[in-house]
Amino acid sequence: MSETRRDSATKDEKDQQLERHRVDAAGELTTSTGTRVDDTDNSLSAGGRGPTLMEDFHFREKLTHFDHERIPERVVHARGAGAYGYFQVYEPLSRYTRAHFLNDPSLRTPVFVRFSTVAGSRGSADTVRDVRGFATKFYTQEGNYDLVGNNIPVFFIQDGIKFPDFVHSVKPEPHNEIPQAQSAHDTLWDFVQLQPETMHMMMWVMSDRALPRSYRMMQGFGVHTFRFVNANGEGTFVKFHWTPKLGTHSLVWDETQKIGGKDPDYNRRDLWDAIERGQYPEWELGVQLVPESDEHRFDFDLLDPTKILPEEQVPVTPIGRMVLNRNPDNFFAETEQIAFHTANVVPGIDFTNDPLLQARNFSYLDTQLIRLGGPNFQQLPVNRPVADVQDNQRDGYGQHYVHRGRTSYFKNSLAGGCPYLAGEDTAFKHYQERVDGQKIRHRSDSFQDHYTQATLFYNSLANWERAHISAAFQFELGKVEHRHVREGVVAHLNHVDHDLAVDVANGIGVDPPERAVANHGRSSPAVSQATFPGTVYSRQVAVLVADGVRAAEVTALRSALAEHGALADVLGPRDGTVRTDDGSNFEVDRAMSTVASVLYDAIVVPGGADNATALSGDGLALNFITEAFKHHKPIAAMNEGVDVLGRAPLPSLRLANSGDDGVRTDQGVITNRGSDDQGLRQTFIETLARHRVWDREVASVPA
């Protein structure tokens, strides 16, 4: 697979640069200094049973290198996955920014994107409840630009000086290092109840946003208000939005926990597999633009990272698209060693005084120094800009450049004055913002409203989304041991929405509060996931089969799905083949026991009398159906396959009866008996495109 990628004639500049560093296994084994080695299984010893000799340089080198293979994991966002691709702007944005890559629509700027969870260690599960990192490095011709965002548009805190406090509270507790990659524990919720600025973010983290179905199906946000600067030095406030082509979709909570055991690499694998299949993930980049003169037009502070700029007030303008089309060759070299930094900017993109952003501009460089072992991490292949580097920086651990000549200072005359200062038209110019004030430690009064937008978010959601939030608070707080912490959070929720607070209080055994304030009733529909379009493209469907299956039904379904870019996995009782109803052999893709219902978007049970009898007596198959129902997934059954559904512990449904000739749909369960297979396939595909059947009644289903 990687060969095809490498042989491609369409290598971008970054790919060509990386090519110089790629190494393929070939030839004879050597030491790291190139000496040939003919035995790497037996250490040099004094006699067959004697002690190992110090002289065995190969043994010592092999062990020493191994002993030093690990580097510190990222203090946050340790668990991640990444890929290369490109970004292309639609139209020149010269009115707002002079950034070259945002002004040339013919240019494909290479990118590397790393997605991540925040709290868990490098080896933690992908599907935990958490914010997801969405960090993009643009290798522009004017230097690297890093947009280090998240899949949630707001943040936990307003000032970066609180970041260590927040992270200490959400990470596993220090005395016993429990729980791993979970927010459901006392210290996080203690922090929350004492720091009400967290409330807006906590509403998002308790929502389905924290359980993405796929990295390919999440939005990304720059979070802060940044600043575009044009060639005249004029600034415009800007907020960045990534919108996935596949829509924004989530898993359900019970499902995420099961996937954590069945396939902890679920999101990582999904990204990798989609790219290897050629189903390249794609996002549109959009911006919200606010003229400098409108800085104080809103009922919140644009510099406050716990606030969104509602799209209904300032619409998102699409400006370009990003495609991820190449997996890394080596996880450590590329995905682990990539170093993002919010202060990696290019001319035309600048900061604002958001105190969280200001802190980040310190922290990211600092963290790379310890994580990557010194000041030369920008020379690592994945971090190298495609733009020329002439920086007069010298020496340090792991220096890779061989700088020639006698000078490494400015000004010099001995190297002809090189490198000399960049010209007006190419240099980064800091935006000339007027700043004046007294030195004080005081959070601006304009940062003090912590509830209005938390309520706005809640008001904007569909009923099922709200129900998920309430259930999430009840789960998380239900794990909290300290009663006063539970009560403290409920008291804040009471300022967000009284009914929510009462619901949560009742669920966690604390006294429901009296109404404190009235819900302001405003909403921002754009934040609801119910509004996002869907598609079946790249969705995974499990088709359950056993001996006696009517293979024609499976084949027709598979090609109908393939037409839309969806994938069918035929799951049999064992690997190999099953017998069909006409006595031939039919190949299965996997044994049912090696996968699980939670790894699929939908389930189909085809017909065939013996097939139905076998599946009806197979607990695993019945569990697939039951769990899929519980998790709101589309289920289809054809002919005798309909009988299998009757064996699963589902609520009573209107299923196709014998003698019917037509498709029946009840709560996303689609059945037919008779000849209308095509109608069934069409209804199934339409239902799958809507992702989940949220209005289904699942409470009584034992899964």
Give, as ranges, the residues between 322 and 351 that touch ligand HDD (CB under 6 A).
Answer: 338, 340
Residue 592 φ/ψ region, left for φ over 0, alpha for ψ in the -120 to 50 degree band, beta for the rest: alpha
**Residue number, 58 or 137, with CB nearest to ligand HDD:** 137
Q: 522 labelled as ligand-binding?
A: no
Cβ–Cβ < 8 Å for 169, 119: no
Site string for ligand HDD, 414-453 (x = CB under 6 A): ----------------------------------------
Smallest distance from ligand HDD to CB 42, Å: 41
> Burial level of 375, CB count in 10 A (0-12/13-18/19+)?
middle
* Rounded-to-integer distance, Cα 618 and Cα 620, Å: 5
Is residue 271 a contact point for ligand HDD (CB under 6 A)? Answer: no
Cβ–Cβ < 8 Å for 319, 93: yes
* Rounded-to-integer distance, Cα 429 and Cα 587, Å: 63
Exactly one of 359, 387, 471, 698 binds ligand HDD (CB under 6 A); that residue is 359
Smallest distance from ligand HDD to CB 124, Å: 14
Smallest distance from ligand HDD to CB 309, Å: 14
Is residue 227 a contact point for ligand HDD (CB under 6 A)? Answer: no
Cβ–Cβ < 8 Å for 683, 557: no
Q: 431 labelled as ligand-binding?
A: no
Smallest distance from ligand HDD to CB 657, Å: 53
Q: 371 labelled as ligand-binding?
A: yes
Exactly one of 14, 15, 79, 80 binds ligand HDD (CB under 6 A); that residue is 80
Provide the b/e sequence for 560-595 (b: ≥16 CB within 10 Å).
bbeeeebbbbbbbbeeeebbbbeeeebebbeebeeb
Place of tokens 């690499």: 265
- Max CA-CA distance within the chain? 95
Following CA atoms 165, 169, 172, 177 in sequence, which dihedral angle do they give, to the nearest 10 degrees? 80
Following CA atoms 410, 414, 416, 418 in sequence, which dihedral angle do they give, to the nearest 10 degrees? -30
Site string for ligand HDD, 570-609 (x = CB under 6 A): ----------------------------------------
Cis peptide bond prior to 172, omega within 30° of 0: no
Smallest distance from ligand HDD to CB 166, Å: 8
Query: Which span (148-156, 278-286, 374-382, 631-639) binds ligand HDD, by CB under 6 A?
Result: 148-156
**Residue number, 152 or 645, with CB nearest to ligand HDD:** 152
The amino acid present at 583, given as its one-letter code, is: G
Exactly one of 18, 58, 76, 580 binds ligand HDD (CB under 6 A); that residue is 76
Provide the b/e sequence for 200-212 (b: ≥16 CB within 10 Å).
bbbbbbbbbbbbb
**Residue number, 339 or 622, with CB nearest to ligand HDD:** 339
Which 3 state secondary structure label does DSSP give 529?
Answer: helix
Provide the b/e sequence for 642-675 (b: ≥16 CB within 10 Å).
bbbbebbebeebebbeeeeeebbbebbbbbbbbe
> What is the H or E stretch that residue 66 is in?
helix 57-67
Cβ–Cβ < 8 Å for 122, 71: no
Is residue 200 a contact point for ligand HDD (CB under 6 A)? Answer: no
* Rounded-to-integer distance, Cα 268 and Cα 127, Å: 10
Exactly one of 279, 330, 363, 393 binds ligand HDD (CB under 6 A); that residue is 363
DSSP 8-class letter at 332: I
**Residue number, 239 or 258, with CB nearest to ligand HDD:** 239
Is residue 137 a contact point for ligand HDD (CB under 6 A)? Answer: no
Q: Tokens at residue 56, please?
A: 């065995």
**Residue number, 382 or 663, with CB nearest to ligand HDD:** 382
Give the CA distances from residue 462 to residues 127, 139, 492, 524, in Å, rounded to whole numbers and listed in that order: 23, 40, 22, 12
**Residue number, 76 or 496, with CB nearest to ligand HDD:** 76
Is residue 356 a contact point for ligand HDD (CB under 6 A)? Answer: yes
Is residue 133 a contact point for ligand HDD (CB under 6 A)? Answer: yes
Q: Which residues are tagged catalytic?
A: 77, 150
Exactly one of 103, 180, 367, 613 binds ligand HDD (CB under 6 A); that residue is 367
Query: Which span (142-150, 209-217, 277-285, 460-468) binds ligand HDD, by CB under 6 A?
Result: 142-150
Is residue 148 a contact point for ligand HDD (CB under 6 A)? Answer: yes
Give how many residues touch ligand HDD by CB under 6 A.
Answer: 26
Query: Which span (147-155, 486-494, 511-519, 541-549) binds ligand HDD, by CB under 6 A?
Result: 147-155
Q: 74 labelled as ligand-binding?
A: yes
Is residue 223 a contact point for ligand HDD (CB under 6 A)? Answer: yes
Residue 574 φ/ψ region, left for φ over 0, alpha for ψ in the -120 to 50 degree band, beta for the rest: beta
Q: 692 labelled as ligand-binding?
A: no
Q: Tokens at residue 151, please?
A: 């899949």
Query: Which span (60-68, 74-82, 617-625, 661-669) binds ligand HDD, by CB under 6 A?
Result: 74-82
Query: Which span (143-151, 188-196, 382-390, 458-466) binds ligand HDD, by CB under 6 A?
Result: 143-151
Exactly one of 59, 280, 364, 532 binds ligand HDD (CB under 6 A); that residue is 364
Is residue 150 a contact point for ligand HDD (CB under 6 A)? Answer: yes
Tell me the backbone φ, ψ of residue 178, rounded to 5 degrees.
Answer: -130, 140
Q: 280 labelled as ligand-binding?
A: no
The residue of the chain with the least Cβ separation from ligand HDD equals 133
Exactly one of 239, 360, 450, 495 binds ligand HDD (CB under 6 A); that residue is 360
Place of tokens 């937008």: 453
What are the residues binding ligand HDD (CB under 6 A)? 74-77, 80, 114, 116, 133, 135, 148-150, 155, 160, 163, 223-224, 305, 338, 340, 356, 359-360, 363-364, 367
Where is the binding site for heme, in residues?
Answer: 74, 114, 163, 360, 364, 371
